Amino acid sequence: MLTLDAEQTAARHWFESLRTRICSAFEAIEREAGSDAAFDYIPWDRTDPSGEPGGGGVRGVMKGKVFEKVGVNVSTVGGTFEGEFAKSIHGAADNPAFFATGISLVAHMANPHVPAVHMNTRFLVTTKRWFGGGADLNPPLPVEADTADFHATLQAACDAHDPAYYPRFKAWADDYFYIPHRKVHRGVGGIFYDHLEGDFDAGFAFTRAVGEAFLDAYPRIVRRRMHDPFDAADVATMRNWRGRYAEFNLVHDRGTLFGLKTGGNIDAILMSLPPLATWE
């Protein structure tokens, strides 16, 4: 069993409470659509390479009428990074000991007019302590009003903490969520930040604000689009777009690599992949 200090405990509890609220909000949308779909929660344990208990998490998955497949995962893990991987992690090159806690969410929607979405926030401890994460919108059929709404909500959260955050973190997301071999962005962006260290309280407050902004913006956008009519051509466009999404997550996503390199739960790590995709 991991021993957590006060900061680690506070971060863990926040991520778990945010998970509960997000899942409740998504289940409420399913009820509005006449569905009784609910999240299944599957706990998992991790063994550190040292052989000691290395924490674990809970994988939450729902397949419904509005949410074709949505995963909301929380995890709290710790131990030591193996081999050369430690050199790629902030503050771990000389000491491979680490702690990480966070929430990760990906939603793939049944209606092609409802944008898919990704959100994660995390707290990591090596020889340094920092927050990271963000949220980005991934519509197969982009609508400018939805993109503007999502970005405006994130910008308001950023501006309340530092006016320099939004332009910096938006640019970081645009750069990160890009598929080089396709020369296209994965979606319409959002914010991405990492290595937010120094004052724990300030970093934690901002990270909570990102979670609140997501919970404010995304359900509103889902409700706006969930009843829009669509046809077979729209579905084909969505499934082809999902192929690009899968390519990014399998080839370029750092979170996927981190989970695999640290012995995370395989199903939780790959819950970001869409249920159906095509390559044409």
CA angle 243, 215, 177 (to 5 degrees): 35
48: which 2 tokens?
């550190």
Q: What is the dihedral of CA 126, 253, 219, 231, to 10 degrees?
A: -170
Catalytic option among 118, 161, 185, 227: 118
Alpha-carbon distances, residue 40 vs 9, 136, 222 (angstroms): 25, 24, 21
Query: Taking a C-beta distance cutoff of 8 angstroms, is the pair 166, 154 a contact?
Result: yes
Which of these, 77, 233, 122, 249, lies nearest to 176 by C-alpha position? 249
CA 72: distance to chain centroid? 8
Nearest-angstrom CA–CA distance, 202 and 90: 19
Nearest-angstrom CA–CA distance, 189 and 152: 12
Query: Taking a C-beta distance cutoff of 8 angstroms, is the pair 191, 170 a contact?
Result: yes
230: which 2 tokens?
């669509």
| 118 assigned to active site | yes
Query: Taking a C-beta distance cutoff of 8 angstroms, is the pair 253, 273 a contact?
Result: no
Which residues are the active-site residues? Answer: 118
